[in-house]
Amino acid sequence: MNPYWEYVRAGYILVWVVLGAYSVSLTARRREASRGSGGPVPRGGAGG
Amino acid sequence: MRHAVMVGTGVVGLVLLALGHGLGLFWAPTDKMMGDVQRMMYAHVPTAWTALVAYLISFVACVGYLFFGDWTWDLVAEAAAEVGLVFNGLLLATGMIWGRPTWGVYWTWDPRLTTAGVLFLLYGGYLALRRFVDDPERRASLAAVVGILAFADAPIVYFSVRWWRGLHQIQSTPKTVDPEMVLCLRLSAFAMLFLMVHFVLRRVQIGRARLDRELAPPPAAAAGWGGPR
Amino acid sequence: MTAAERVRQAVTIARKDVLLEWRGRARINAIAFFGVTTLLMFSFAIGPDARTATLYAGAFLWLGLLLSSVLALAESFRVEAENDAVEGLRLLPVDALAMFLGKAVVNAALLFVLALLLLPLAVVLYGAKLDAGVGPIAGVFALGAAGVAAPGTLYAAVTSRIQAREVLLPLLLFPLVVPVLLAAVKATGLLMLGDPMGQVGSWTQLLVGFDVVYWILGSLLFARVIEE
């Protein structure tokens, strides 16, 4: 096999994994951000 | 409606990306000069365009916030900067992976690569600043100022690095003459553009939820500032 | 507000800052000493090879200056931030533009003086040559100092009331002034080592361009930084 394919494969895997991971992190943060937003919230450090 | 746009951009982006990358990897002809390693292009080049578009959106939103003072501008500025940073990171990583087999080194002081590196640091700083300002209004103004200054730096960095390297540098991008290559590149570029919009919309939603929470307790606004720190 | 009034206010603020710096000159002395120490550390780091030192004299000089500049810039809003005096200045009919210009000019002058102080040290330590004359080198120093001072003043104001300002100021400022560093190091190096291709002019132009862009941006945006 062409040795260059290893680099190409690594690059494509990286793109898909990072974009996937970012999507997952958005979901997790969305869940965290909306949790308890309806009721009274204790004022904690912002931005965390 | 907004939900439909969000899901739509995500689905379209994902399908287009799979199509563009799949065709680029297995259907597009092998480059005569660079060989198969040129296939990196379909992953690498669109991240550059997408990151730049995201930063441009963030810049426009920063200006918009300073002019109109509406929260949405601030949320979009933050979201686009963060998503831009993700694509910028991918741009740097795929650039290094591509650079290793073609130039023998991971990093060269190519003007575009260097500008991407500096932009990564600038927007990393922008997002870091946002975390350290508690008062939402103050955070929005300060971040907008920093966002404008950071974006204005990009062309200056680009030209200074170009001069620094010498004006007679050979451009390193392979020529995309084959229509198949152009098609794959375009598909991947539009795919990432859609995904970028999708991510920005989702990030804005998160920012809005957080902001609602910050603004929710009425006494917070009055008690938060004024005392010596 | 008329332009003359604005200039008068800027001068007043600048004079107040210079007076404060002069009264607290122990701190300024310490910053200058820090710059000297950095230059020394660079020569220790590269070893006793005189040729390398001469070759990179301009680079080390500017890096030392940039590292000390953060300390000097952070200083420019410390007094105001500690005593909540920005609020006081804002309540007085002081124009934000005048305030920015006053502060930025003082910072630029401070960095310029610091650079002039470090120059003889570069000659002694690195064997930097001043054949081209001190005048042109001082010109590059002035342009570079102005380039660091404009965004530096703005960012010093941005970070002045943030807990993590010690790390945020350099984090925000250093990537931004990459073009200043490139151009100033190149121009200084060419002036010290000889400029056969006549390139100093274009690097000076780049510095001027950066200065114009960031002094304008700073003047426009400073009002939004100091507002509550």
The residue extents of the domains of chain B are 11-168+175-210
- Best of B120, B141, B225 to disrupt the C interface (most C CBs within 10 Å) is B141
Tens-place pLDDT, residues C78-129: 777 666 666 666 666 677 888 888 889 989 998 999 999 999 888 888 888 8
Q: Is B117 exposed, middle or buried (0-12, 13-18, 19+ CB in 10 A)?
A: buried
Region C147-162 average pLDDT: 91
Q: In angstroms, rounded to a whole number, what is the distance separating the alpha carbons of residues B56 and B80?
A: 8
pLDDT band at C200 (very low <50, low <70, confident <90, very high): confident
Q: Is C218 exposed, middle or buried (0-12, 13-18, 19+ CB in 10 A)?
A: buried
Tens-place pLDDT, residues B100-149: 887 778 888 888 888 899 999 999 999 999 999 888 888 999 999 999 99
Residue B201, pLDDT score: 93
What is the percent of chain B with per-residue pLDDT over 70, rounded to a whole number?
A: 88
What is the percent of chain C with per-residue pLDDT over 90, rounded to a whole number?
A: 34
At residue C30, what is the residue type?
A
Upper half-sphere CA count for residue C64 (Cβ side, 13 Å): 29
Query: What string of DSSP letters covers chain B?
Result: -HHHHHHHHHHHHHHHHHHHHHHHHHTSPPBTTTBGGGGGHHHHHHHHHHHHHHHHHHHHHHHHHHHH--HHHHHHHHHHHHHHHHHHHHHHHHHHHHHHHHHSSS----HHHHHHHHHHHHHHHHHHHHHH--SHHHHHHHHHHHHHHHHHHHHHHHHHHHHHH-TTPPP-SPP--SHHHHHHHHHHHHHHHHHHHHHHHHHHHHHHHHHHHHH-SHHHHHHSSSS--
| B120: its two tokens | 């990564």
pLDDT band at A2 (very low <50, low <70, confident <90, very high): low
Which comes out higher in pLDDT, residue C175 or B28?
C175
Determine the 3-state secondary structure of A37 from DSSP. coil
Tens-place pLDDT, residues C3-53: 888 888 888 878 877 777 777 777 778 888 899 999 989 888 887 777 888
Q: In angstroms, rounded to a whole number, what is the distance separating the alpha carbons of residues C81 and C75?
A: 10
Region A14-33 average pLDDT: 91
Chain B nearest-CA distance from A11, in A, is: 5
Question: B43-57, B206-220, C82-96, C162-176: which has the minimum mean pLDDT?
Answer: C82-96
Q: In angstroms, rounded to a whole number, what is the distance separating the alpha carbons of residues B10 and B82?
A: 17
Q: Could you tell me which residues of chain B have a Cβ less than 8 Å from any Cβ in chain A?
A: 21, 25, 35-37, 39-40, 43-44, 47, 86, 89-90, 93-94, 97-98, 100-101, 130-134, 136, 139, 195, 199, 202-203, 205-206, 209-210, 212-214, 216-217, 220
Region C193-215 average pLDDT: 87
Residue C83, pLDDT score: 67
Complex ipTM more than 0.90, yes or no: no
Determine, for residues A14 and B93 on separate chains, whether the beta-carbon distance falls below 8 Å. Answer: yes
Q: Is C132 exposed, middle or buried (0-12, 13-18, 19+ CB in 10 A)?
A: middle
**Hey, is the C-beta of B127 within 8 angstroms of any chain C C-beta?**
no
Confidence check: pLDDT of B170 > 70:
no
Neighbours of chain B (3+ CB pairs under 8 A): A, C
Upper half-sphere CA count for residue B55 (Cβ side, 13 Å): 32
Considering B16-20, B167-171, B206-210, B220-224, the range whose residues carry the highest mean pLDDT is: B206-210
Tens-place pLDDT, residues B82-100: 999 999 999 999 988 888 8
Region C143-169 average pLDDT: 90
Residues B216, B74, A29, A48, CA torsion sign: negative
Determine, for residues A14 and B94 on separate chains, whether the beta-carbon distance falls below 8 Å. Answer: yes
Residue C88, pLDDT score: 65
Determine the 3-state secondary structure of C133 from DSSP. coil
Phi, psi of C52 (to 5 degrees): -60, -45
Residue B226, pLDDT score: 47
Q: How many CB atoms lie within 10 A of CB C49?
A: 10
Residue B55, pLDDT score: 95
What is the percent of chain A with per-residue pLDDT over 70, rounded to a whole number?
A: 67
Determine, for residues A41 and B47 on separate chains, whether the beta-carbon distance falls below 8 Å. Answer: no
| A29: its two tokens | 């943060």
At residue C222, what is the residue type?
F
CA neighbor of B220 nearest in space, from B141, B143, B137, B144: B137
Buried b (16+ CB within 10 A) or exposed e, C71-93: bbbbbbbebbbeeeebeebeeee
B11-168+175-210 has which CATH code?
1.20.120
Cβ–Cβ under 8 Å, residues B136 and B224: no
Region C190-197 average pLDDT: 81
| B136: its two tokens | 């939402």
The DSSP output letter for A10 is H
| B170: its two tokens | 């050979």
Determine, for residues B43 and A41 on separate chains, whether the beta-carbon distance falls below 8 Å. Answer: no
Mean pLDDT, chain A, rounded, equals 75
Query: What string of DSSP letters covers C147-197?
Result: HHHHHHHHHHHHHTT-TTHHHHHHHHHHHHTHHHHHHHHHHHHHHHH--TT
Which comes out higher in pLDDT, residue C12 or A19?
A19
Q: In angstroms, rounded to a whole number, what is the distance separating the alpha carbons of residues C114 and C34?
A: 11
Query: What string of DSSP letters covers C8-77?
Result: HHHHHHHHHHHHHHHHTHHHHHHHHHHHHHHHHHHHHHH-S-HHHHHHTHHHHHHHHHHHHHHHHHHHTT
